Each structure stands twice: as C-alpha cells, then as structure tokens.
Structure 1
Amino acid sequence: MRIGIIGAGALGGTFAALLARAGHEVEVTARGAGLEAIRSGGIRLSGGYGDAHVHPATGERLAVRPDLVLVCTKAQDAAAALVANGATIDGVPVVVVQNGLDGVDTARRALPRASCMGLLSIIAANYTEPGAVRVTTTAASYLGRGDGAPDDEVRRIAALLSEAVPVVAIANFRGAQWTKLVVNMLNAVPAIVGRSVQEVVDDRRLRRVVAASMRETVRVGAARGIRFGSLQGLGDRRLRLFARLPLALGQVLPWSMRVRMGRVPNLGSTQQSLRRGQPTEVDFLNGAVVREAEAAGLDAPVNRALVALVHEVERTGAPLPAERVAAVLDRVER
C-alpha cells in the first residue's frame, strides 16, 4: 500500500520505518534539517522494535496521492500541514497520530471529504537527531473515532497497520483520548526541570505535582461527562477512584507508569521539542485541561501553572529549579 506520513519526527519516523520495513511504499514530509537528513541518509530506527534503515521518498509536501495518510505533526502544526497537503490527500483515509483532544476535528475541518480517525500511541521514542529515532518503550497503539464501536474501516486499517506495529481498534475513542491526556501529564514537569520522566517520578516533590496534574485532569474530564476509555491498564473505574484519593496515595499512578518505562531515559515529547528549540504542545495538553475546566465552570490551577512554567522555559531556553515546580502545590488542596 502507498502510505503518506505527514511529519517525520519521533512517532512519524517510527511509523515510517516500521511500515517501510513491512513492505509498504512510504512517502514522508519533513522540514529543515530533518528534510535534508532523510533525503541524504534516510530514517534510522533503533531501540525497542529493532534496527531499521529505510529511504522513503521525502519532501516538504506529499508528491503522490497515497492510499492512506498518517498525520504525525505536533498538534499546533496540524492545520497548516493538512491545508498544505490538501489537494493531494482530500478524500483519502486520514489517521491523526497526535496528543490532545482536537486532532481528528482539526483534520475533518481541513479535509471535509476525507474519512478521519485518530490513533493514540503509547510508544515512547526519542528523536535523537534529524533522521534518527530511538524507541525507548514499545506499546500497542489504539485506533478509533467518536464514542461508539469501531466501524469496518477502522478495523481494516488497524489490521493493516498491525502488519508493522501492534494497533488495536477500540470503542469510545473520545474517552480514550482523555485517558491518554492523563498519561500525557508526564510531559510538562520533566520539560520544566530538564530531567527524564523517570528522574522526575523518582523525586517525591516532583512526583506529587505530576500526580496532582493527573488528578485534576480526571476531575475535569468527569465534570465534562467523559467516560474514560481503557488504555494500558487505565480505565474509567480506576481513574475515577484515583481522582478521589488524597494526593499522598494518588502518587501510585505516575509511579506505575514510570515502572512500565524501564531504564532507558524517557525525555517526553515536550522536553524534546524544547531541546530542539521548537514550540511545545503544552497548550494542547495541560492547556486543554484548563480550557475544558473553564467550559465546565471549574478552575484547573495546577495545569494552568504548569502551562505558564513551560512557556517560561520556552522563552528563556533554560530549565527551572525543582523548587519552582514544587511551589505549584502551595495554594492547591493536597
């Protein structure tokens, strides 16, 4: 099958390498140093899925109409990337591989004739240098759309992608997006202090802040009427129980996620963006919690504070002391 991948960063590069290795004809888009590196040396994948070195067709836009498109840009870049490729891909099935809550809706607005669905990936991958990706944690990815059961097209595409990497067709995709949003609360604090996710969760002061941001996310989702989807052992019942726990006990949730990661340092996607000097997705992660809280008539002070701190690091280019992060809880119920 001819598969177009828009955005060849950590996840885009991973899927491109694995799909090409499985025998599909892959074309990717990239920019700047990434574009030049892939054109000259291909994509080199290492880590959890083994080594692969592939040479996909590469350009700033897709040149050939594909049979399937994966959108793997950062959330803030999705609309522009979809419009730039619109003439080539409108009417083609589109899989949005993104964090946050808005990716599938963004694709539908940009490509009104396309069949759009979302893919939630728990794979952890470090985009170590242009054209090089190292997978630090392998995991299944989850494909779906809307609130209902997966339809025939979703099941067909999940089976196709599973030829290269495990993909599960799921029901209640919107609820699963919220569960993934809880998982993504692991991103902000490591980015602020410049440490790996494992190091942050090992630090009791920082682990409390991560747990507080997760608990706040679950409480906001519940207030918005969300039934959390099942991902990686997390589901509606477990998350609602977690939301009622005191913070001292709630720290078991980020700790359990840290155990799954193993020993290879996981920087998180937000910190990787900072290290490359690029804007982060924080407004689509912690910022999404703040917006959803406002829609429910609530406040989300922990996530609001973390958004501000990530933007401070974006402006200054330097990590902040752990004490600045720990202070986020000073005026919040513990």
Structure 2
Amino acid sequence: MRYVIVGAGAVGAVLAAQLTRAGTDQILVGRGEHIRRIRDDGLRYILHGRPEVVRVATALHPGEVDLQADDVLVLATKVQDVEDAVRAWAWRPVGGDGPRVAADLPVLTLQNGLDADRIALRRFGRVLGGTILTSAQHLTPGEVRCGALGPIGVLTVGAAPRGLDPALPGLAEDLRRAGYIVQVTDDVSRWKAAKLLFSVRNGLEVLDGDATVRADLGERLVAEARAVLSAAGFGVADTVAERTEDVSAFRPDPASGIAPGQQSTWQSFTRGASSEVDFLNGEIVLLGRLHGVPTPVNAALQRVLGEVEARRLPPSAVPLHEVLAHVGSPA
C-alpha cells in the first residue's frame, strides 16, 4: 500500500518520515511555506535530539497526486480542517482496476475529538478511525521534532464507527515497521471517546497560572466530559485494562527539546494557526446542550481560548483565572 498523508503538521510529517525510513511508499500533501521547504530541501527531522534530512515524497495539492487502487488516505490535519480535506479528496479519480474515486479507498482519521469519523463517513465508505499518542512538534517551516525515546507513538485503529476492515492487518504491519505500537480494535469509537477525556485539558496549556489551579480545572473539565459522554450514550474505553499491546517502551525523550505542556493546542496558538478547541471543549459543550447536561468549565475555557485566538495572543498571555471568571457566563 501507498499512504497519501493529507496534512503535513507534526503528526503527518513525522509519520511520513518514519514510513520513508522504513521503505514504505508515501506522499505527504501539505500547503504553504512548510511543504515548499520540505519539497525543496527535504524534511528536517529531529529525532532523539539529532537532526537529519529525510527526502519524503510531497504534493502541494490533490491535483499533483495520481491516486491508485492500493492507496490509503491518511487524514493528519487538525479536526477543524477535516471537512475541507474530505471535500477536496473524495471525488478525485483513481487509476487502474477497482475503485473509481477516492471515496472508495480506505481513509484513516487521526484527529482528536469525535467529529472526524462522522465527517469522513458522509462521503467515504471505508473509514478507519484512529487515535494516536505521540510526542511530536511542528513550529518551524520545513522542520518537525519527535519527542519519543522508544517507539514513535501508540496507535489504536478500527473501522468506524465499529467493526474491522480488510485493510487493517496490512496497515498495522506497515505502521509497526515504521516504529509505532499498533492495536487493532473492533470498537474504535470508545477509544476516541477516551482520548477526548484526555484532550479536553489541552487548552489549559495555553494559559498562564499556578499548577494547582491548572490541575483543579483539568479535573473539572474531565468530570463534565464524563457526565456528558454518559448522557449521550458514548462508551469510553478503559485504556489500561483494554490495552492488548505492551506500551511500556513508549516514553518521552528528555533530549528531544520538547518541554512538557506543549501539545497540539499549544503549538497551534504558538504558530498563530486555528485551534481544535471548538471540537474538544466545544464538543463537550455541544453534547451537553443537546442532552441537558451543564458544562460550565468547558464552556468557559472554550470562550477564553476563542477570545485569545481572535485577538491573536501568544500562549501564556492570559491567566487561568480568566476561565474561573467566566464559569457560569451566558453563552
């Protein structure tokens, strides 16, 4: 299989580098100065604190990719960009015998939140949902940094919304060769919900304040999310008890240059890019409104970070206490 990776940020570019180093065909599709530098100079890939240049195959837009019947699309954009990506790719022609358009191919989603699979299923018949745990950073055009000491990341994949797909065994084997721990599940939506419980705290890293306040707010965000997911009928995987793969070797690399508290939301605000907050905390707020469950802390964090993004402020420019000040504010 060849992997057409749509989105050249931290997750997508690290995946492209690892597949290339493992000898697996891939093409990295991105936009802007970042992908142009990768095309011209190669990807500057920093692993274990040491930079190397990896010559990954690249494309600047879908029209540069001649899709084939054995391709797998990998959506590595942020969740807020999935709709645009799906619309751009779904009806692209596929050469050779078999599938005629991209919507007939398998597509793997690697986004946080719950919305990516639903968006993809509107056009694609074979959606492979995935959750990924990894330490990766993209702040400089043409460069990505991996912060893992052993395996690059932990992937849990399955057909969305549930079940299995014939492409999964080969996909899992390719990803393992590329340095990832991979678990295949027949109920990936429960793992997506579990990852959301973790991700609702990401936005707190953008704000400045005391660690005790941060921890307290994090607990309140997760408690609201648990209540909402339960009311909405979402099962949540027990990511320890249900883990069938040994993940003990996956740990952060102290020499990577990635500091704790610099996850995907923090990186988006640092680069001045759009954030996924509306699909993390905003997802909890939406479900809470639909099912009559109060979500005051998630709503307050969404509001504060929305204002930070609108004013184009950098991380740590606004204190955590702003969230507390807005708890209970009208929508």
In structure 2, the partner of 1:158 is: 172
1:123 matched to 2:152: no
TM-score, scaled relative to structure 2: 0.82
Distance 1:304 1:235, change over 3 A: farther
Counterparts of 2:23 and 2:237, CA distance in 1: 32
In structure 1, the partner of 2:66 is: 64
Aligned length: 298
Counterparts of 1:109 and 1:118, CA distance in 2: 14
1:44-90 deviation per Cα after TM superposition (whole angstroms, max 9, x unaligned): 22235976532223223241215111110111111112222230433
In structure 2, the partner of 1:222 is: 230
What secondary structure does 2:177 align onto?
Answer: coil
1:317 matched to 2:325: no
- Over the aligned positions, Cα root-mean-square deviation in angstroms equals 2.5
For structure 1, the 5+ residue unaligned runs are: 194-199, 237-259
Counterparts of 1:178 and 1:19, CA distance in 2: 27
Counterparts of 2:116 and 2:78, CA distance in 1: 10
| Equivalent position to 1:94, from 100, 104, 107 | 107
In structure 2, the partner of 1:178 is: 193
Task: Please say if residues 107 and 116 of structure 1, whose CA atoms lie closer than 8 Å, have aligned partners that are also in contact.
Answer: yes
Aligned-pair distance for 1:226?
2.3
Counterparts of 2:107 and 2:51, CA distance in 1: 27
Task: Please say if residues 144 and 169 of structure 1, whose CA atoms lie closer than 8 Å, have aligned partners that are also in contact.
Answer: yes
Task: Please say if residues 224 and 294 of structure 2, whose CA atoms lie closer than 8 Å, have aligned partners that are also in contact.
Answer: no
Task: Please say if residues 145 and 174 of structure 1, whose CA atoms lie closer than 8 Å, have aligned partners that are also in contact.
Answer: no
Task: Please say if residues 135 and 146 of structure 2, whose CA atoms lie closer than 8 Å, have aligned partners that are also in contact.
Answer: yes
Q: Give the structure with the larger helix fraction.
A: 1
In structure 1, the partner of 2:29 is: 29
Aligned-pair distance for 1:23?
0.5
Residue identity matched to 2:85? A
Aligned-pair distance for 1:148?
4.5
Task: Please say if residues 117 and 161 of structure 2, whose CA atoms lie closer than 8 Å, have aligned partners that are also in contact.
Answer: no
In structure 2, the partner of 1:265 is: 259
Aligned-pair distance for 1:121?
0.4
Aligned pairs (5 A) from 1:294-313: 294-313=289-308
Counterparts of 1:47 and 1:169, CA distance in 2: 26
Counterparts of 1:77 and 1:330, CA distance in 2: 30
| Equivalent position to 2:156, from 142, 158, 178 | 142
Counterparts of 1:216 and 1:315, CA distance in 2: 25
Task: Please say if residues 139 and 270 of structure 2, whose CA atoms lie closer than 8 Å, have aligned partners that are also in contact.
Answer: no
For structure 2, the 5+ residue unaligned runs are: 94-101, 244-250
Distance 1:150 1:130, change over 3 A: same
What secondary structure does 1:35 align onto?
Answer: helix
| Equivalent position to 1:104, from 98, 105, 117 | 117
Could you tell which deviates more after superposition, 170-179 or 57-66? 57-66
What secondary structure does 1:122 align onto?
Answer: strand
Counterparts of 2:206 and 2:242, CA distance in 1: 26
